[in-house]
Structure 1
Amino acid sequence: MANRTVGPYDHCIDSFYHLNCSSPTFSMSERTAALSAITTLILATVLGNLLIITSIAYFRQLQTRTNIMALSLAVADLLVGLTVMPYSMMKAVYKCWFYGQFFCNLQYFLDYMLTNSSIMHLGCIAYDRYVAICDPLRYPQRVTNHTVVTMLLISWFGPALFSSPILVNFNPEWSRGNIEIISCPNQCLFFVSTWLVSVVGVCPYVLSLLTMSYVYARIYIVARRQGRQISSVSLQVHAQQQQQQQQAEPTNIRQKWTAMKREHSAAKTLGSIIGVYLLSWLPFYMVVLFFPNFQNSSAAVRITTWIGYISSAINPVLYATLNRPFRSAFVAVISCKVLSSTRARTMDLSGVK
């Protein structure tokens, strides 16, 4: 019986039917557990962000300039769950790439583009909260509809343009000579020089981390000062209501108090989202920074990448936990109350606990 020569492509395709590409690194039970855990994370990411998008799109009370940016961020997180995480799951579990070189480049393009788009969205949200808290009187002039549209366009098209070299693979020399060092010839790899990883990959994250940390430090200082004012205003309202039966006089004070609390609540929620996102991706960028050639660190890169992906699933939990209108909207959508009433779009979401 003649020996059959198996080429690199045959190796991966033949192994696919045995659910393994290279020498086994997972037992069947470990692979099942990994697939179950990652699939749960993907479903949580997709369904949670669909819940955010549906709530903002449906309820008029949530259709503020800030929440429009939050909706756009949810779309980016949704695309991570739909277009990036499933393919990354296949690479992580089966250690092989079954979809060809173009889709390999496309997956890296979407991964990098959506990650940086999220960072830019968070920067826009931080700027919006900074103006709303620190310069509330000029907020309508500084954050207009045109400003929001411009920031969102930059947040989408900027990362797409910046990531386009990955899609066209304009420098094939980056990966030449490296493909044979791995156990499976059909891995989906994208090799770049150390300086490009540092400049293109790490610098945007570090600059965003420093900028948003400064912005939210300023917000925190102003918010604390305004918090003391809220307490003072609350005492004034209580005293005036005890002294007179008519409620017309303290109305302006109550309105200022309510508006200030609403802005602080939004700043707290969005600040938590920014903090979780930056902390989730910090381990990945630490690995990239200290192991720029990824030597002996491929497992660390995979693990820290998935830690970063988790941030896309956490945002809906933060909205539901920290923001009462969103929590009320989520309950209304999940319980299908939006289908039972024609007035659901205009229902008051702030009074439901």
Structure 2
Amino acid sequence: MKLEENSVQFCFPLHNSSCVKDWRSFMEYIIMYTFLSTVSGLTVFFNLLVIISISHFKQLHTPTNLLILSLAVADLLTGLIVIPVEGLAFIETCWYFGDYFCTVFPIMMFTIFSGSHISIFLISLDRYIAVTDPFHYTVKVTFKRAVFCVSFGWFSSFIYALAILNKRQAKIINTVTVRIKPEGKGTVPKTSETKAAKTLGVVIAVYFICWIPYFIGSLIADSVPYNSAVFVFMYWLLYTNSCMNPLMYALFYPWFRISVKHILTLSMFNSSSSYLNVFPERK
């Protein structure tokens, strides 16, 4: 039987206490699911390229790239878990994932977003040291310290999420910071670091554009309905930031374009491909 616009639909028709499901036309479903699948798929694919690039090519094994790798993992998990779950709940206006996942999901989302914020903060700190004190950069910033900071940051955000859940107050942490990329090991000329810092200004601007509306919306949540178009726009602008970060790398960083070319052409499976020079200017 064809469903009419005014017909009542339930999330679980066999349960008398089921919530009422919002009516949507077939075309609305097609558009929404296409958008959801596209954003989720591209976010996972682009960030997977970043993760493979930094993990495989030896020249990219630097402290700053480790922080970028941490951010890419957070962005990939956003596309793999957060966007599909939140998108399905928004489109269907029902929760089909059960009570247990309803309890666990806020912990996962909080940890993922916290990992993203922590990674961006550490990258901004790393770049600040590289620009302001380049001659002591390799002494202050080491690979082991980067590993410790990333591990501690992710672990502490997970523990904090558990504490919030016990109080039934699981919410996304309100933290904003910045990000950038390295130029290899050793002391780097200050002009190179300054150029890198200017390039990352675009990434920082995109990050703030995506996140600030959400923070503002959190402050006016009492005066604006949670399911209004304003909040929907804020949330999805926030989620799409995870897809934008790799695009910034592709736009500004030659090493990323070179590594992606070798990944997509399967050249990375050749022997000794991990030692490929992804910085042609350093021959």
Question: What range describes the TM-score normalised by the shorter chain of this pair?
Answer: 0.7 to 0.9
Distance 1:96 1:144 in 2: 47
- Give the alignment of 1:12-91 within 5 angstroms: 12-14=11-13, 22-24=21-23, 26-91=24-89
Q: Deviations over 1:174-214 (max 9, x none)?
A: xxxxxxxxxxxxxxxxxx5xxx97xx744xx2xx35xx5xx
Residue 219 of structure 1: aligned partner: none
Aligned counterparts of 1:93 and 1:314: Cα–Cα separation in 2: 23
Structure 2 contact 62–143 (Cα < 8 Å) conserved: no
Q: Would you say 1:307 and 2:259 are equivalent positions?
A: no
Q: Unaligned stretches of 5+ in structure 2?
A: 1-8, 181-185
Could you tell me whether the CA contact under 8 Å between 2:42 and 2:243 is conserved in 1?
yes
Aligned equivalent of 1:117: 115
Aligned partner (choices 255, 264, 267) of residue 197 of structure 2 = 267
Where does structure 1 lack aligned partners over 5 or more consecutive residues?
A: 1-9, 172-191, 217-254
Q: What is the percentage of aligned positions where both structures have the same residue?
A: 28
Contact kept? 1:269, 1:323, Cα under 8 Å: no
Q: Which amino acid aligns with 1:343?
A: S
Deviation (angstroms), 1:278: 2.5
In 1, Cα distance between equivalents of 2:242 and 2:159: 22
Query: Structure 1 residues 294, 157: CA separation in 2 closer, same or farther (over 3 Å shift)?
Result: farther
Aligned to 1:161: 159
Structure with bigger helix share is 1
Is the contact made by 1:281 and 1:308 (CA closer than 8 Å) also made in structure 2? Answer: yes
Measure the CA separation in 2 of the matches of 1:320 and 1:99. 36
- For residues 15 and 130 of structure 1, what CA distance do their matches in structure 2 show? 59
1:101-116 to structure 2, matched below 5 A, reads 101-116=99-114
Structure 1 residues 157 and 98: alpha-carbon distance in aligned structure 2, compared to 1, 3 A threshold: same
Deviation at 1:271, TM superposition (A): 4.0
1:276: which partner in 2?
A: 206
8 A contact 2:134–2:189 mirrored in 1: no
Cα distance, 1:156 vs. partner? Answer: 0.3
For the residue of structure 2 that corresponds to 1:14, the secondary structure is coil
**1:243 maps to what in 2?**
none
Paired with 2:66 and 2:28, the residues of 1 have a C-alpha distance of: 41
CA distance in 1 between counterparts of 2:194 and 2:254 reads: 13
Distance 1:101 1:295 in 2: 28
* TM-aligned CA deviation for residue 167 of structure 1: 4.2
Supply the distance in 2 between the matched residues of 1:336 and 1:71 (Cα, whole angstroms). 21
Question: What per-residue deviation string (whole Å, max 9, x for no partner) do you get for residues 263-319 of structure 1?
Answer: 34543454433332222011111111122x365242232321111011101111111
- 1:225-264 maps to which residues of 2 (within 5 A)? 259-264=189-194
Q: Cα distance, 1:154 vs. partner?
A: 2.7
Please, which moves more after superposition, 322-331 or 266-275?
A: 266-275
Equivalent residue for 1:127? 125
Q: In the superposition, relative to structure 1, how do residues 336 and 262 fare at CA in structure 2: closer, same or farther (>3 Å)?
A: farther
- Greater C-alpha Rg: 1
Task: Give the structure-2-normalised TM-score.
Answer: 0.83
Counterparts of 1:175-186 in structure 2, within 5 Å, are none
Report how many aligned residue pairs link the two structures.
264
Answer whether contact 2:66 2:147 (CA < 8 A) is retained: no
Give the distance between the partners of 1:166 and 1:95, measured in 2 at CA: 25
1:119-163 deviation digits (Å, cap 9, x = unpaired): 111010001001111101111221123321221023201221221
Amino acid at match of 2:277: D
- Cα RMSD between the aligned structures? 2.8
> Are positions 1:296 and 2:225 aligned together?
yes
The Cα of 1:84 is off from its aligned counterpart by 1.0
Contact 2:22–2:93, Cα closer than 8 Å, also in 1: no
CA, structure 1 residues 294+328, in 2 after alignment: closer, same or farther (shift >3 Å)? farther
Counterpart of 1:321 in structure 2 is 251
Q: What amino acid is aligned across from residue 302 of structure 1 in structure 2?
A: V
Residue aligned with 1:296, SS: coil
Please point out which of 94, 97, 103 is paired with 2:95: 97
Give the Cα–Cα distance (whole angstroms) in 2 for the partners of residues 322 and 307 of structure 1: 22
Whole-angstrom distance in 1 between the partners of 2:63 and 2:142: 8
Please state how far the C-alpha of 1:75 moved relative to its aligned partner.
0.7
Instruction: Tell me the equivalent position of 1:227.
Output: none
Q: Which residue number corresponds to residue 6 of structure 2?
A: none
Question: Is 2:271 the counterpart of 1:342?
Answer: yes
CA distance in 2, matches of 1:83, 1:314: 17
